[in-house]
Amino acid sequence: MPNNDHAPSLDDLRVFLAVADANGFRTAAKRLGQSPSTVSETITRLEVRLGVPLFSRTTRSIMLTEAGRALATRTAPLLSEARAALDEASSSQSTVRGRLRLNVPGAVMFDILPPIIDRYMAAHPQVRVELVVEDRLVDITAADCDAGIRYGEHLQQDMIAIPIGPRRQQAALAAAPAYLERRGTPEHPSDLLQHDCIRIRISGAAVGAWEFEHGEETLLVDPPSRLIVNTAGAMASIDLARRGQGLVYTFRNWLHPHFADNTLVPVLEDWWQRYDGPRLYFSRRFMPAPLRAFVDQVAQER
């Protein structure tokens, strides 16, 4: 029988939504800054109070039950709206207070997002900023985030997306001078099939083919993977390329400093692909004061 003497707290529901989004206690605990045991105890306490299991647990994974899915669907937007109202109430026209929590990919953490956040925090010193860095597209409401940043993914209909940072970016292929001296310089993307390549894998996805374009021609090349690095270690892939371990194909802005000091050499420059830069996405229904201030800043800087 459910224990209705005490209604679940907003903090308990926040923990529940974090576990639902992460599909696991450890990942949710890491995002929340709590121990896995504390998160597990919170879920158990919530299930006892409600009198129903919210998750089906196995030794390898957990999944929402039907009751859990219903609870997540109903409570996620309510909690977001409640926090937005609290932030709005604590903010005046001259001072913005509260929390800004962004879910972002590692790609924007190198040189795109930090200066934007620096200016934002200088303008709004009473806002606490939290950056959740991961590469998968998430439901930002369920993940207890105010907004997210991603490259070109299809977003839900109730989301608004605006450019943040550079409108256009470019991929670049590079290798160390010593590697090119040893193995030769590719003259066409198809030549990469005969070279050592350092590949970067997005978490939970297959290693994607390298895409090149020249005029109206577009080529997809799936070169041999001498070395594969997860996106969390993307900077290490560049360092390994500088050490002569192979060719690396990644963001041009990441490689530019190494072109400048000649530790890396541009390769197949005429084939480098251009694409749209990152976008900030957020729900059109919820706009807490810290997020509104951030969106206004991003719009002014475009």
- % of the chain beyond a pLDDT of 70: 91
Please give the pLDDT value at position 273.
94
Can you tell me whether residue 146 is helix, strand or coil?
A: coil
Instruction: List the beta strands (DSSP E) in the chain.
Output: 55-57, 62-64, 98-104, 127-133, 147-150, 159-163, 168-175, 197-201, 210-214, 217-221, 225-230, 247-251, 265-267, 274-276, 279-283
The answer, yes or no, to whether residue 182 has pLDDT greater than 60, is yes
Alpha-carbon torsion, ordered 245, 246, 250, 253, to 10 deg: 70
Q: Mean pLDDT over residues 240-269, rounded?
A: 96
List beta partners, residue 159: 283
Q: Could you report the per-residue pLDDT of 202-224, keeping only the tens digit for each?
A: 766 678 899 999 998 999 999 98
pLDDT confidence of residue 100: 95
- Domains in the chain: ranges and CATH: 10-64 (1.10.10.10), 76-165+277-301 (3.40.190.10), 168-276 (3.40.190.290)
Output the CA torsion 132→135→141→147 (10° steps): 70
Q: How far is CA 236 from CA 93, 188, 203, 248, 282, in A?
A: 45, 26, 16, 11, 31
Average pLDDT over residues 43-51: 88
Rounded to an integer, the average pLDDT of 145-155 is 84
What's the whole-model pTM score? 0.69
Q: What is the arithmetic mean of pLDDT over 77-105?
A: 77
123-149 confidence digits (pLDDT tens): 999 999 999 988 877 788 777 889 999
Q: With bands split at pLDDT 50, 70 and 90, how would you rate the model's confidence at 1?
A: very low
